[in-house]
Amino acid sequence: MTELQIHVSDSLGSVSALLVRPPDTWLLYALAHGAGAGMGHHFLEAMSAALVERGVATLRYQFPYMEAGRKRPDYPSVLQATVRAAVAKAAELAPELPLVAGGKSLGARMTSGAAAVAPLPGVRGLVFLGFPLHAPGQPGTSRADHLERVDVPMLFLQGTRDAFARLDLITDVTEELDSRATLHVVEGGDHSFGVLKRSGRTPSEVLGELADTTVQWARARLLGRVGA
């Protein structure tokens, strides 16, 4: 694991980042955190570890508000500028690797928002770990309107119990995006992909499903190969 600093801008300064790159790396994922926890959150650490086991390097990074210890997220323009800086850093660190970007919840939406404004240089696809389609109890799809302007393939990993994305609505959104979107549903998963004990599944099994799906999608959709 390599600790890094990513320069966002002269006014915003720099944020911390962690690069984990296995010896057999074939893909790099720039991975943004959710609204309430930073890049060191246990879910992101576990997800990164599962991907690294499968040859996928990860670059996790902080948003400025989290770096400064504030609870309230920055304005979308600041978050999207951070995404763009992180993607540029990822491309600089490993120019030989195919690059995908995305993240958990807020990190997913800010990455897609940045890509909708202008293509993220070098990014071949976006991977969303629980796209936050709407606030809990307030179903709607307006947060997905910008996805029409994203011109790279997108993988949506969503739980059936996700309070931030009612299953029928996220299904409709991905169907409207047609071939650009792939939806993978985690049965019984909540917004953080937690499952009930009665499901008989362990957290590591769910993480394995998420990582395997990401690998299979990237190989087939981005690299034109099948198999893990």
* Residue 197, amino acid: K
Is the pLDDT at 223 greater than 90, yes or no? Answer: no
Average pLDDT for 157-180: 96
- Considering the domain boundaries, does residue 94 fall inside one? yes
Per-residue pLDDT reduced to its tens digit, 32-73:
999 989 999 999 999 999 999 999 999 999 999 999 999 999
CA angle (222 as vertex; 216, 228 as ends), nearest 5: 25
Per-residue pLDDT reduced to its tens digit, 84-106:
999 999 999 999 999 999 999 99
- Considering the domain boundaries, does residue 227 fall inside one? no
- Considering the domain boundaries, does residue 228 fall inside one? no
Per-residue pLDDT reduced to its tens digit, 3-16:
999 999 999 999 99
Is the pLDDT at 226 greater than 60, yes or no? Answer: no
- Considering the domain boundaries, does residue 106 fall inside one? yes
Please tell me whether residue 132 adopts helix, strand or coil conformation: coil
For residue 44, give the H/E element and its range. helix 42-52
Q: Are 182 and 156 in contact (CB under 8 A)?
A: yes
Report the distance separating Cα 220 and Cα 30, nearest Å.
19
| pLDDT given for residue 182 in this prediction | 97
CATH of the domain at 85: 3.40.50.1820
Average pLDDT for 178-196: 93
Phi, psi of 29 (to 5 degrees): -115, 115
- pLDDT range class, residue 227, cuts 50, 70, 90: very low
Please report, rounded to a whole number, the percentage of residues in the chain having pLDDT higher than 70: 98
Of the candidates 92, 47, 58, 67, the one whose C-alpha atom is nearest the C-alpha of residue 208 is 47
Q: Are 107 and 73 in contact (CB under 8 A)?
A: no
- Considering the domain boundaries, does residue 127 fall inside one? yes
- Considering the domain boundaries, does residue 48 fall inside one? yes
Task: Specify the pairing of strand 2-9 against strand 13-20.
Answer: antiparallel
For residue 59, give the H/E element and its range. strand 56-61
Tally the domains of the chain: 1
CA angle (118 as vertex; 185, 57 as ends), nearest 5: 50
Of the candidates 61, 51, 2, the one whose C-alpha atom is nearest the C-alpha of residue 27 is 51
Range of the domain at 133: 2-222
- Considering the domain boundaries, does residue 203 fall inside one? yes
- Considering the domain boundaries, does residue 20 fall inside one? yes
| pLDDT given for residue 216 in this prediction | 96
Its pTM stands at 0.94
